[in-house]
Amino acid sequence: MGIITKLFGNSSKKETETMTNVKLAVIYYSMGGTNYQLSKWAEEGAKEAGAEVKVLKVPELAPQSAIEGNPAWKAHVDATKDVPEVTLNDLEWADAIIFSVPTRFGNMPSQMKQFLDTTGGLWFNGKLVNKVVSAMTSAQNPHGGQEATILALYTTMYHWGAIVAAPGYTDPVTFAAGGNPYGTSVTVDQDGKMVENVEAAVKHQAKRTVNVAELVKKGNQ
């Protein structure tokens, strides 16, 4: 047994064998497709852990002319036109939520912030308390704000009274993905291709989020 396995155990094996009744919403924004792909991997991982999953996009705020003027953006918008837009009902429905957003000046995109800013009513009525959450991101540079973006998103989560299920170093796959313990993050090159292979880390994060949500649900019964 290697030192990493000794330290962390083989948690992903245990997790894949667990069936849950957890409902997970994967809520993302993407311009070039990276965060959509991360969301799809999260969906796969969570389903393997037995969760019911919805992948949902936040509403676009950019003018149509800006999208039309950028072929890659337009292609992504067209390719994901059938992905449902998230509503506040989805937040009420979900036991667990994974967010995935591109880094914008070291922060989340305004599209996601705008959506979060519509949750005041749910927050006021205590409907977001004990939601189990985690977040993922991408950026063009490894030190271009990946950790800052995830932490900015978590700030809102603390106001919700949500439970942040960050991956930490609970599985060695995190190291191969760049070692971000706050949430999986990936670097995207000039052509929009992911630099690190983060698929396993995303799936681990999704399973861990489902498992923590299951513990919270059980504890509430």
Ligand X SMILES: Cc1cc2nc3c(=O)[nH]c(=O)nc-3n(C[C@H](O)[C@H](O)[C@H](O)COP(=O)(O)O)c2cc1C
Query: Considering only CA atoms, which of 7, 10, 50 is closest in space to residue 209?
Result: 50
Nearer to ligand X, 32 or 167 (CB): 32
Q: Enumerate residues 128-147 that contact ligand X by CB under 6 A.
A: 138-141, 144-145
Smallest distance from the beta carbon of 129 to ligand X, in angstroms? 30
Site string for ligand X, 95-114 (x = CB under 6 A): -------xxxxx--------
Q: Which stretch binds ligand X (CB under 6 A): 24-32, 43-51, 59-67, 81-89?
A: 24-32
Using CB under 6 A, pick the residue from 32, 45, 167, 183 that binds ligand X: 32
Nearer to ligand X, 8 or 36 (CB): 36
Site string for ligand X, 144-163 (x = CB under 6 A): xx------------------
- Chain positions contacting ligand X, by CB under 6 A: 30-35, 102-106, 138-141, 144-145, 188, 192
